[in-house]
């Protein structure tokens, strides 16, 4: 082992939440560590009672020569122990670390240097759009982060500003590190099969996100239905999370969770992608759609405007009239769609996991 080698522990428990932003992020982070790590030793901590970590992930970690500790502890118990009472150090599970990187859900006490990754502060800005348990958990966790973390990696400038303004964290402790976005390139034959599988026979607009109040799906649906555009469907991909049920309409279809290859095929085959979320710490689907050569429209709030970099059509997510006007523009203006596709492809290439890993490891090395 090299003289300056660090031993880094990381909680990857969030990897089991398929289809969610935090799940995508965690799996991407695991893959980038395994792909780009050359000097340091990593120890992976996983805990869940009902969900199992994908066997392929475990195998890749072991084949790289790293350790993984898998415990059958329910997330609610760990939250109670680590967030609420802040007892029982992670040191009991992981030994002799230079750094421990905590997860999105729990913040264990530790005698090691601690780092954490913060995706957003939606629980502060829009507590009414989240399950009360999530609000309570995030508040407890981030109070410990504020006092104990040596460095915080924020997914965007928007999230960094929220950490400063809501939690009074020093700016010099926060590093903006945009997540990488993995893209699947599907073949035309697969695209044909996917459209047939989902019985898609018309042009369609696609939106992606868990069905919950913050994603603002109902306003999108109302805007689309009001326009009453013939031979055009709105397809919504995402599992139900919580909140009121979404109304059903003739030309609006709900696909729930689908496999990544199918999702990227649907991005590519759509007329355009629209993302009306009220607030996001990053917004994976926006970059995924851009990278799939799809024109994108999204909200003019939070990180969504930031990562768009003038490559999307922006709208006020609270105003149905603006959402409607945006849909009309993209439906009827083919030239605009083509221009957005060109700009989006260029923008999407900036969000790589190699960039993410390099920033992460350089900061940990510097602060060790």
Asked which of 14-18, 182-186, 190-194, 319-323 is least confident by mean pLDDT, the reply is 14-18
| pLDDT over threshold 50, residue 2 | no
Span 173-221, pLDDT tens digits: 999 999 999 999 999 999 999 999 999 999 999 999 988 889 999 999 9
pLDDT at 261: 96
10 Å CB burial of residue 213 (0-12, 13-18, 19+) is middle
Span 151-173, pLDDT tens digits: 999 999 999 999 999 999 999 99
pLDDT at 20: 79
If we measure between CA atoms, which residue out of 230, 238, 227, 233 comes closest to residue 275?
238
Q: Where are the alpha helices (DSSP H) in 253-313?
A: 260-269, 284-291, 302-308
pLDDT at 254: 94
Tokens coding 3: 């003289």
| pLDDT over threshold 60, residue 277 | yes
| pLDDT over threshold 70, residue 287 | yes
Contacts of 58 (CB under 8 A, 6+ apart): 68, 70
Span 328-353, pLDDT tens digits: 999 999 999 999 999 999 999 999 99
**Banded model confidence at residue 239, pLDDT cuts 50, 70, 90:** confident
| pLDDT over threshold 80, residue 88 | yes
Domains of the chain: 7-180+352-367 (3.40.50.2000), 188-348 (3.40.50.2000)
| pLDDT over threshold 80, residue 9 | yes
**Banded model confidence at residue 1, pLDDT cuts 50, 70, 90:** very low
If we measure between CA atoms, which residue out of 319, 239, 241, 323 comes closest to residue 275?
323
Mean of all residue pLDDT scores within the chain? 95
Backbone angles phi, psi at 172, to 5 degrees: -70, -10
What does the DSSP 8-state code read for residue 51? -
d(CA 323, CA 344): 20
| pLDDT over threshold 80, residue 18 | no
Crossing angle for the helix pair 217-227 and 320-332, nearest 10 degrees?
A: 60
- Locate the DSSP E strands across the chain: 7-11, 41-47, 67-71, 99-102, 113-118, 151-154, 174-176, 203-208, 232-237, 252-256, 272-275, 296-299, 313-315
**Banded model confidence at residue 12, pLDDT cuts 50, 70, 90:** very high
Asked which of 126-130, 255-259, 302-306 is least confident by mean pLDDT, the reply is 126-130
Q: Do the beta carbons of residue 183 and residue 352 sit within 8 Å?
A: no
**Banded model confidence at residue 223, pLDDT cuts 50, 70, 90:** very high
């Amino acid at each position: 082992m090299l003289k300056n080698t660090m031993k880094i522990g990381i909680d990857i428990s969030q990897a089991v939440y398929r289809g969610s932003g935090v799940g995508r992020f965690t799996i991407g982070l695991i893959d980038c560590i395994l792909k780009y790590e050359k000097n340091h030793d990593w120890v992976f901590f996983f805990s869940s009672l009902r969900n199992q970590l994908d066997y392929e992930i475990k195998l890749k970690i072991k084949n790289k020569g790293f350790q993984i500790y898998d415990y059958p502890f329910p997330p609610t118990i760990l939250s109670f122990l680590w967030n609420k009472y802040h007892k029982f150090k992670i040191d009991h599970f992981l030994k002799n670390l230079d750094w421990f990187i905590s997860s999105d859900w729990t913040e264990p006490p530790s005698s090691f240097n601690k780092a954490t990754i913060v995706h957003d502060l939606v629980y502060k800005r829009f507590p009414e759009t989240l399950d009360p348990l999530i609000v309570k958990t995030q508040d407890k966790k981030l109070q410990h982060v504020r006092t104990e973390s040596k460095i915080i990696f924020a997914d965007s400038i928007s999230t960094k500003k929220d950490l400063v303004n809501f939690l009074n964290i020093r700016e010099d402790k926060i590093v903006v590190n945009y997540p990488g976005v993995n893209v699947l390139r599907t073949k035309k034959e697969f695209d044909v099969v996917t459209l047939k599988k989902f019985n898609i026979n018309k042009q369609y607009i696609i939106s992606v996100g868990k069905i919950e109040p913050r994603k603002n799906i109902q306003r999108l649906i109302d805007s689309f239905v009001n326009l009453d555009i013939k031979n055009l469907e709105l397809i919504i991909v995402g599992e139900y999370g919580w909140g009121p049920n979404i109304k059903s309409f003739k030309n609006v279809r709900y696909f729930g969770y689908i496999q990544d290859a199918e999702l990227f095929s649907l991005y590519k085959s759509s007329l355009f992608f629209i993302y009306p979320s009220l607030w996001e710490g990053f917004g994976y689907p926006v970059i995924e759609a851009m990278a799939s050569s799809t024109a994108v429209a999204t909200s003019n709030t939070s990180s969504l405007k930031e990562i768009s970099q003038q490559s999307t059509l922006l709208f006020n997510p609270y105003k149905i009239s603006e959402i409607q006007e945006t849909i009309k523009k993209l439906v009827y203006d083919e030239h605009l769609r083509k221009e957005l596709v060109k700009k989006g492809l260029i923008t999407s290439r900036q969000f790589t996991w190699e960039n993410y890993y390099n920033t992460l490891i350089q900061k940990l090395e510097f602060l060790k």
